[in-house]
Amino acid sequence: MEYYNYIKSLHLIFVVTWFAGLFYEPRLFIYHIEASKKSSPTKEILEKQLKIMSRRLWYIITWPSAILASLFAIWLLILIPEWLNESWMLIKTVFILLLYAYHLKTHQMFLELQRDEIRYSSNFMRIWNEGATLFLFAIVFLAIVKSAIHWVFMVLGTLGLIFFIILAIKLYKRFREKFAEDEH
C-alpha cells in the first residue's frame, strides 16, 4: 500500500485535466456557434481555428485524461475493494456513469461542430457548459465526505447551485444584450 498515495495522486491529476477539458470544450463550442454567424472571411478563419483548438483539446487532453482517471480509479478499487460495499461509493459510481454520459454527449456535439452542423444555440451551450460543474461538486463531495447520508444535503446544495448558475447565465445574457445595444 506504499504506492497508494502515488496512484491516488495520479488519479486526481487526471480528474483535474479531464474536467479542464470538459469545462473548456463547450466554451469553444460557444465561440464556434457564434463564429458561424459572422460574415466571410472572418467566419471561415475563426471556424477553422476553433476546430483545430477543439480537436486538440478533445483528443490530446480530455479523452486521454478521462481514460487515465478511470484506470487509476479502478486500480484504487483493486487496492481497496471494500469501498465497493460503501453506499457513498455506489452513489459516486452512479454520478461517474452520468459524467461519462455527459462526456459522450459532448463528444457527439464535438463531432457535429467539426462537420459545421450547428444544432444548438450559444445560450444552450452556456447552460451545457455548467453540467461539468455539477458533476464535479457531486463527485468531489462524495469522495471527500464519504457519507451517503450527507449526499442528500449535497443534492440540495447542487440544486441551489443549479439555480444560481441559471440566474447568473440570465444576468450575463442581459448584460451582453445591454452592452451590444450600447455599442450601437
What's the domain count of the chain? 1
User: What pLDDT, on the 0 to 100 scale, is given for residue 143?
Assistant: 87
User: What pLDDT, on the 0 to 100 scale, is given for residue 151?
Assistant: 61
The grid coordinates listed for 36 are: 458561424
pLDDT digits (tens, 9 = 90+) for 86-138: 888 998 999 999 999 999 999 999 999 999 999 999 989 998 998 998 899 88
Residue 71 and residue 89: Cα distance in Å, rounded? 16
User: What pLDDT, on the 0 to 100 scale, is given for residue 15?
Assistant: 98
The grid coordinates listed for 143 are: 469522495
| pTM, to two decimals | 0.82
Domain span holding position 145: 4-183
Tens place of pLDDT for every residue, the chain, 184 residues?
A: 689 999 999 999 999 999 999 999 999 999 999 999 999 999 999 999 999 999 999 999 999 999 999 999 999 999 999 999 988 899 899 999 999 999 999 999 999 999 999 999 998 999 899 899 889 988 988 888 876 556 666 667 777 777 787 788 778 878 877 777 776 6
User: What pLDDT, on the 0 to 100 scale, is given for residue 155?
Assistant: 67
User: What pLDDT, on the 0 to 100 scale, is given for residue 10?
Assistant: 97
